[in-house]
Amino acid sequence: MDYPDVGNLRVSSDDEQDHTGFTPANQDTRTSGYDSQQGQSEDCCGRAQWLRSEGEPEIIITDAQKSSEGAGSVYIAYVIRSGNVETRRRYSEFESLRNSLSKLYPTLIIPPIPSKQTIGDYAIKQSKAKEDANLIARRRRMLQLFLNRVARHPILSNDHVFHRFLERDVSWSEVLNSPPITLLPKNILKAPAHNPLESSPAHEFLPIPSPSHPLRRPDQRFLDSESFTQKFEGHLTGPLEKVTRRTSKRWAEYAHDTAELGAALNALSLSLPPHESDAVERTGQAVDAAYVDATKLVQSIEAGWTEPLREYAMFAGIIRRLLAYRHQKHVQYEMTTESLDSKRETLEEYERSEAEAQRLQSALSAATAPRRPSPSLTPNNPNIALPSPSTNTGNERLSPRPGASPAPSADSLTQSPTQLSIPDPDDFNSQGAWGGDDGPSWGQGARSQAWANRISSGLSSTIEAATNVAANAASSVAGASSEATLPAPSSGPSLENAVFAATQDLKYASSTIQADLDRFQRQKVADIRDMCIAMAVAHRDWAKNNLEAWEEAKKEVVKIEPHPNHPPAGKADVPKSP
């Protein structure tokens, strides 16, 4: 089977059907990628039909109401209207919905929700922190934006868990304690990337690498995405966020100051003559209008500029975690591939050792095959005295002389099957090899044949042991290649299936994440345009309302008589004051 090159993620399909746990349907789901999921489910309920019938569905949070659970604590329930259906959800249920979607779709960018109150909020406002009007209004806007982003997403909008969140009279706790939520794995790295709900035995063999584990062959596209995301997040959370916060603070202070100034002018008008009090009163009203308009400007900047900046700062964190997930999938692929290659190399080494041992055994068997006896050693030759049967009585097996090296055992072959200990032939040429002068008086040919048989016997035993060691080692390596580094049932898939699973996960995660990043980029450009327009409209409306208020004040101010030192025009004989 050919495994993909990491750069282009090419997968060979020749042997895909041989991998257990991957049906053709699963393969289609994995390889079809992001586009095939856009129409993956039919109308499963009323909310699904409504979402499909609307071109751009609009979900509205109409109100935030105080609720209580019997005698329990009071919480804020948000009234959600989708079409003609209304339901009530609290903040913790929004949070659990987002967490569930993140686990169900680990390769998609799940929109963020507003963060919880900080410890500082509780320390300052204590029990009133949950009832803060500004906090509740901000949450309403951001939670509504979260629901609309999910409803307009080509994949997330088809999820039935999201549909049940919008349904009336659906217990959210029952949804969380029923499938598919209860079928989610504890670690999404141990599940298929295309559908974490599909249990795959091959994924149990995959390691769980650290997000900081280096890659041997990283994908440059995602390295560029990580770099851009870090820079983008740095701009949003750095000077831009600081300047925006400082500007909003100063506009709020300006509104507070104009409110005090308007009240002071209105009080002053009460103590002035009628022809002066009207002008001062109208000036005070213009200042009051400036206070109102400044307050609206602060709110418009908060809703149209500051909150989107915070949301996109959270989006940057979400994308970083998404790229980290893809990075870990890439590390899984490299680690399993390296493990399989290492075991294959070990198997090939033992197979070569076994083949070498068999070659030596064949060569030795051919060299020590029985030969036709020489005529000089036959009984027909009267010049040679053959040993009598009584000479070898009780000595049927030849034993080496004392001090000779014994035949090597199989235990000595664990280091290398080809290192054989062969007795020295010189030891057998000496007289002591026969136990002294009492040995049989054979001819030179008979003696050579006897010692050749003895050497053959020792080498045969040694080579047989080497062959067994190599065979056992090869079997153990072959068995190891069918098991992963983690415990698994004996009937589980092979390490090759784990590599195949990691390959398919990496391919699917890369294509799907890249497609969702492209969709997010288009969304970001449109949102930045809307943010700039919202900022311009807010300042335009503020300036327009201020202009109208001050023009009305001018009409009253010009009614006041000029200063005595400035006579009416036309009396040139009266000198003007310097």
Gap between the Cα atoms of 203 and 220, Å rounded: 26
* Residue 430 placed within a domain: no
Q: Which of 7-16, 77-86, 316-325 has the lowest mean pLDDT?
A: 7-16
Chosen domain end from 184, 214, 243: 184
Rounded alpha-carbon distances, angstroms, from residue 547 to 256, 370, 502, 539, 553: 19, 123, 65, 12, 10
Q: 286 and 328 in one domain?
A: yes
Nearest to 248 by CA among 300, 324, 178, 196: 300
Has residue 94 been placed in a domain?
yes
362/214 same-domain check = yes
Pairwise pLDDT comparison (151 vs 397), residue with the higher score? 151
The token pair that represents 7 in the structure block: 């750069």
Pair 213, 258 in one domain: yes
Q: What is the mean pLDDT of residues 97-117?
A: 93
Count other C-beta atoms under 10 Å from residue 466's C-beta.
Answer: 26
- At 124, is the pLDDT very low, low, confident or very high (cuts 50, 70, 90)? low
Q: What is the CATH number of the domain that holds 327?
A: 1.20.1270.60
Pairing of β 59-68 and β 85-90:
unpaired
335 in a structural domain: yes
* Whether residue 144 is found in the same domain as residue 267: no
End residue of a domain, out of 122, 151, 184: 184
- Of 128 and 195, the one with more pLDDT: 195
pLDDT at residue number 492: 37
CB neighbours of residue 479 within 10 Å: 12
- Per-residue model confidence (pLDDT) at position 325: 96
pLDDT, position 422: 45
- Which tokens go with 414? 């664990």
CATH of the domain at 150: 3.30.1520.10
Task: Dig out the tokens for 370 from the structure.
Answer: 């029985």
Domain containing 143 equals 58-184
More confident residue, 119 or 208: 208
Tens digits of residue pLDDT in 257-300: 999 999 999 999 998 888 888 999 999 999 999 999 999 999 99
Measured torsion, CA atoms of residues 316, 317, 322, 326, in degrees rounded to the nearest 10: 100
Assess whether 137 and 210 both reside in one domain. no
Q: Are residues 498 and 364 part of one domain?
A: yes
Tokens of 430: 């000496």
* Segment of 108-122, 252-266, 431-445 carrying the highest mean pLDDT: 252-266
Taking all residues of the chain, what is their mean pLDDT, rounded to a whole number?
A: 77
> How many CA atoms does the CB half-sphere of 282 hold within 13 Å?
18
User: What is the arithmetic mean of pLDDT over 395-406?
Assistant: 45
List, for residues 502-550, the tens digit of each pLDDT value. 999 999 999 999 999 999 999 999 999 999 999 999 999 999 999 999 9
192 vs 542: CA distance, rounded Å: 54
User: What phi and psi, each to the nearest 5 degrees, are found at residue 78?
Assistant: -100, 125
- Confidence class of residue 199 from pLDDT cuts 50, 70 and 90? confident
Q: Is residue 149 part of a domain?
A: yes
Does residue 301 lie within any of the structural domains? yes
Within this chain, do residues 177 and 291 fall inside the same structural domain, yes or no? no
Please state the domain count of the chain. 2
Distant-in-sequence, close-in-space partners of 131: CB < 8 Å, separation ≥ 6: 66, 76
Domain termination site, one of 121, 154, 184? 184
Is position 197 within any domain? no
- If asked whether residues 172 and 246 sit together in one domain, one would say no
Q: Identify whether residues 363 and 309 lie together within a single domain.
A: yes
Residues 155 and 253 occupy one common structural domain: no
| Tokens read off for 363 | 């060569």
Residues 342 and 303 in one domain: yes
CA distance 135 to 66: 14
More confident call, 314 vs 383: 314
pLDDT of residue 571: 55
Q: Is the pTM of this model over 0.85?
A: no
For residue 33, what pLDDT band results from cuts at 50, 70 and 90?
A: very low
Q: Is 143 part of any domain?
A: yes
Domain identity same for 179 and 219 = no
Which pLDDT value is given to residue 300?
94
Separation of alpha carbons 393 and 61, rounded Å: 110
Assigned domain for 354 exists: yes
Please check the confidence at residue 436 and state whether its pLDDT lies above 90: no
Give per-residue pLDDT as tens, 441-476: 444 555 555 555 665 566 566 556 655 655 555 555
* Least confident residue range of 207-211, 255-259, 430-434, 449-453: 430-434
* Percentage of the residues of the chain whose pLDDT score is greater than 90: 48
Residue 431: C-alpha distances to residues 397, 422, 426, 434, 483 (Å): 18, 20, 11, 6, 58
Tens digit of each residue's pLDDT (9 = 90 or more) over 222-262 = 999 999 999 999 999 999 999 999 999 999 999 999 999 99
